[in-house]
Chains A and B, each alone.
Chain A
Amino acid sequence: MSTRMMNRTIGRGLLAATLLATFCAGVAQAEEIRVLNWKGYGTDESWATEAFEAKTGYTVVHDYFNSEQEMLTKLRTNPGTYDVVMINAAFTGQALEEGLIQPIDTGKITNAADLTPEMAQSELLNTGGKTYGVPWVWGLTSLAINDKAFDQKPDSIEVMWDPAHKGKVVLRDDALEAVQFGAIATGQDINDIKDLGAVKEKLASLMPQIRTFWSSENDWNQMVAAGQIDVGTYWSGAASRAKVNFNLPVSFVIPKEGAVGWLDGLSIPAGSKNVDAALAFIDYMISPEFYVEWVNKVGAPVSANQKAVAGLDESAFNRAVLGDPAVAERVVFQKPVSDENREKYLQLWQELKAANQ
């Protein structure tokens, strides 16, 4: 039968291809680095990997994860497979504790000198005087306002409690975000909330101001477009998209009391066979040339490299709003939250919502 013959031919072809691939892989081993990241999150842009290959001769191969837990599992079960891994700074400590990542010699990364000091020296990424993660990009959860409702941009978180905006305030329907917001409003450390009672009281006094709880970017943008809200908690990236992509009168506010930040870092797994190539790749990832192109072609969070942010247009959101060095001082980066605290926060949040109707 012709189909059987065809199958056999294909089979042979596959066999040959596999052999060839194995052979090539053996040869190319030194010239290849393996990166573990979210899909479509910067490192795997084809123009970037091509530029990196042209510059250094290393080809870049990607593998992806869909959750932080999956990322950790992949590092645990495949030691020596990856050379660079993208880890949210809240999880870098856990990866280090489990011995999954190795110290990084930042002296070999030329662009490291331009990193925002607060992030480069973040205790989330540094332990015992050694660096286990290079800060890459970051973003914020803070406030955003409807420009039409304000003559002057507010500078304090207290604007949410302002009676002038009663019934025009939104909060995201998320226990963790709400509790951390309450912690900032009561002057507490979001990662170590000592007085949960004060947070509850503060949030309880906010409830009569609230119009609704938003759950998606689309909710938020529609409410602004319909003039239903004046101010609310929002994400930096979402506020930027609302302004740039949808032309909405939205401004992002980083109040003097502080804001919640997340930080993504690049680390080198413990068993990496190609540390030099990994360092070169991290160097490229935090470089201004990569970052500016990433923002302009695709859209990206804020780079931890001050020079990279300075390379953007002066009016660019990531430079004008978040690039301000004074902002970095006010940002508190989120640490991991235990299940126990998570449940405690949810109960507090549910009680608040149920009490106010």
Chain B
Amino acid sequence: MADSQPSAGRGQLRPALPLLLPAYLWLTVAVFLPLSAMVFFSFVTDLPMAGRDWAATLEHYAAFFQTDLYGRLLLRSLRLGLEVTLYCTIIGFPCAYVLAKVLKGRSREAVFLLVILPFWSNGLVRVFSWAVFLRGGGVVDLALNAVLPFEVSIDLMYSYPAVVIGLVHSYLPYMVLTCYLTLQAIDDSLIEAARSLGASRLTVLRRLIVPLAMPGLAAGAVLIFVPVVGSFMEPRILGGRSGTFYGTVIEDQFVAVFNWPLGAALSFILLAVVLAVLALAAPVLRRHGA
């Protein structure tokens, strides 16, 4: 994300072509064509299926601006994306640092496994297991009351924090993995040199480790931010009354009322906004990365 690769010369491209072809063919069939179909749907009045009249229109894009509903929800989703990314960074970066620089051998493998383990389970299972933990009379509630001398009632289920917790848990491995890769590549002797020249631990972190790890941090942030802004499953299950986000509204258009054109238009507006956010953030990230 942050640094630009030196472009491959023409001479190197030609022999690589047969190798690249399957990948591009696959991208065309699996990504480009379906996405083009959705772009097309977003500009028509009704799905062009048997027995339905349809015409080209911009009304679905106009619908976004006709009420403040969609704009408000989009802002809410963007805020959710930022918060989840922030928490993932705060938790994920130290975790990755410990993995890359402190632990060695067996223990590193074990912790690494623990980090990716949630990745191997189905997303729904993860979310539902949180439901068991977070609700009143749930595991957290019972455990705290068993330890604490006074009565507390922890009922986080069906609230905004529950959505954040569920999403942070789901997306944390992205941050840990990307940061781990860049942190591991930092030469230990650089840190030793800085220390021997009198830099405090904090200075080493601020001036050396974070800048060098920036590509990983940025990649992790993008990988988390983009899907979280469009997420609908976690908010629906954990959010309850406060679980309405931009993603759930899009899902409703596809699932509840069969209004694909509006759903597609809302999706592309989201895509445009996310791209704009990333474009705005890119110079900042690049400066830090350099």
Interface residues of A (CB under 8 A from B): 173-175, 207, 210-213, 215, 226-228, 339, 342-343, 346-347, 350-351, 353-354, 356-357
Q: Taking the nearest CB of chain B, how far is it from the CB of A355, in angstroms?
A: 8
Picked from A173, A174, A212, A354, the residue with its CB within 8 Å of the CB of B69 is A354
Picked from B76, B138, B249, B257, the residue with its CB within 8 Å of the CB of A342 is B257
Q: Does A213 contact B69, Cβ atoms closer than 8 Å?
A: no
Bits for B228-260, please: 1 = Cβ < 8 Å to A, else 0: 000000001000111110000100110011110
With A211-B240, A342-B257 as known contacts, state yes or no: A350 contacts B249, CB within 8 Å: yes
Chain A residue numbers with a CB within 8 Å of B73 are 354
Picked from A174, A210, A339, the residue with its CB within 8 Å of the CB of B241 is A210
Q: Does B135 contact A213, Cβ atoms closer than 8 Å?
A: no
Q: Does A175 contact B256, Cβ atoms closer than 8 Å?
A: yes
Given contacts A175-B257, A228-B157, 7 further A-B contacts (CB under 8 A): A175-B252, A346-B252, A346-B257, A350-B69, A351-B69, A354-B72, A354-B249
CA distance A215 to B157 in the complex (A): 16
State whether the Cβ of B118 lies closer than 8 Å to any Cβ in chain A: no
Q: Taking the nearest CB of chain A, how far is it from the CB of B72, in angstroms?
A: 6
Chain B residue numbers with a CB within 8 Å of A174 are 256
CA distance A226 to B241 in the complex (A): 18
Q: Taking the nearest CB of chain B, how far is it from the CB of A305, in angstroms?
A: 35
State whether the Cβ of B160 lies closer than 8 Å to any Cβ in chain A: yes
CA distance A211 to B243 in the complex (A): 11
CA distance A200 to B257 in the complex (A): 19
State whether the Cβ of B4 lies closer than 8 Å to any Cβ in chain A: no
CA distance A288 to B147 in the complex (A): 59
State whether the Cβ of B211 lies closer than 8 Å to any Cβ in chain A: no
State whether the Cβ of B136 lies closer than 8 Å to any Cβ in chain A: yes
Q: Does B241 contact A207, Cβ atoms closer than 8 Å?
A: yes
Bits for B150-194, please: 1 = Cβ < 8 Å to A, else 0: 000000011010000000000000000000000000000000000
With an 8 Å Cβ cutoff, the count of chain B residues facing the other chain is: 25
Q: Does B256 contact A213, Cβ atoms closer than 8 Å?
A: no
Q: Taking the nearest CB of chain B, how far is it from the CB of A225, in angstroms?
A: 10
7 residue pairs from A and B, CB less than 8 Å apart: A175-B256, A226-B137, A339-B258, A347-B67, A347-B69, A350-B69, A357-B242
Chain A residue numbers with a CB within 8 Å of B137 are 226-228
Q: Taking the nearest CB of chain B, how far is it from the CB of A77, in angstroms?
A: 13
Q: Taking the nearest CB of chain A, how far is it from the CB of B233, in angstroms?
A: 11
CB-nearest residue of chain B to A171: B241
Picked from B158, B252, B253, B256, the residue with its CB within 8 Å of the CB of A212 is B158
CA distance A175 to B258 in the complex (A): 13
Chain B residue numbers with a CB within 8 Å of A228 are 135-137, 157
CA distance A224 to B73 in the complex (A): 31
Q: Does B135 contact A226, Cβ atoms closer than 8 Å?
A: yes
With A343-B257, A346-B257 as known contacts, state yes or no: A211 contacts B135, CB within 8 Å: no
Q: Does A351 contact B241, Cβ atoms closer than 8 Å?
A: no
**Top 6 closest pairs, chain A to chain B, by CB:** A212-B240, A357-B242, A353-B244, A212-B158, A346-B257, A210-B241
With A212-B241, A350-B69 as known contacts, state yes or no: A343 contacts B259, CB within 8 Å: yes
Chain B residue numbers with a CB within 8 Å of A346 are 252-253, 256-257, 259
Q: Taking the nearest CB of chain A, how far is it from the CB of B262, in angstroms?
A: 8
CB-nearest residue of chain B to A350: B249
